[in-house]
Amino acid sequence: MKISQSETEKEVEPRERINSIKTDLYDGTNEAHQPTNICNENEATGDTDKVKDTDNASSASTVEVLDDKVLLMSQSSVISREGLCPAVGLTLYEPQLSVSNNAAARSKSSRMPAQPIKLYYLPPSPPCRSVMLLAKVLGLELDLELTNILEGQHMTPEYLKMNPQHTIPTMDDNGFILWESRAILSYLVNAYGRDDSLYPKNPRLRAVVDARLNFDLGTLYLRYFNLYIPMLFRGEEYDEEQAAKFDEALGWLNTMLDGKAFVAGDNMTIADISIVVTLSNIHAFGYDYSAHENVVNWFDRMKKTLEPYDYEEIDETGAEILASFLKKD
């Protein structure tokens, strides 16, 4: 996955400015239970055979598709780039996303994009991280466009024409524009999946994955949002009432995992990838979810499953950036 991005580095402004644009950073939920502009979320699905690790190689590769044939062009590594994270008011260094050798993964499908998929994103954004993780699993090449909302890059005429909701992540796949992270997840599997294991074609299996995605967007992520966004972006105190509601949602997730290895069945789907970024956040925040044994075991399983796909660089690093902001003051 060869990654490039634009450079944006400006002086960070006060927390009040950050608060005024918080709904453009987190995607998909707000305190009024309406989808807002944050790093976007929607609906998707997936299930069946277990995802196999075809990318666990130490070398990196540049792959190019010509006339539906995969050509391995050269060995290369990804260079980290420095950029401003407007979401948390920190100068951050993009994780060095070591590019695993995706030739084996790509050779299993000729349905690869003619050019790298452009993703407008912010590294700490949970929805953005879910899309980046899935791209790694699928062996897709992303052209990462760091979108500095503090500088209004999401409010330019060009961006608004592309995405009138001015949210991230936003995807541009050779002129096909899509936002809402869960919609992007389902599209990528439908368009470029090696099989349907991440988003099954079987109507009943897909319905379960869709149900988990809707639970994530409308309940789990929403309650996480209501608990932590006031603390992250307004400096408010920990709200015990909101914490109880969030813990209730974790309890429901725990029940859903009874007798299952993953949230929709016996193998990882895009529902797991969508939900894991929220768990990564609360783990970094120090939230105690140990009472939910199934959730604890599932989270450990997900970290191991995603380890070959740069889980630490993409997801843990982004969660730690948010956690460092939470611990200020």
Residue bearing tokens 């309890």 = 251
The rounded distance, in Å, linking the Cα atoms of 121 and 106 is 24
User: Catalytic annotation on 125?
Assistant: yes
Q: Which burial class, exposed, middle or buried, applies to 16 when counting CB atoms under 10 A from its CB (0-12, 13-18, 19+)?
A: exposed
- Contact 263/275 with Cβ under 8 angstroms? yes
* DSSP conformational letter for 24: G
Instruction: Measure the CA–CA gap between 303 and 309, rounded to whole angstroms.
Output: 10
HSE value, Cβ hemisphere, 13 Å, CA-based, for 133 = 35
Selection from 237, 307, 231 nearest residue 268 by Cα: 307
| Catalytic annotation, pick one of 125, 130, 186, 280 | 125
Give the chain's radius of gyration (CA, Å): 19
Q: What six digits make up the tokens of 111? A: 């349905």
Active site residue ranges: 125
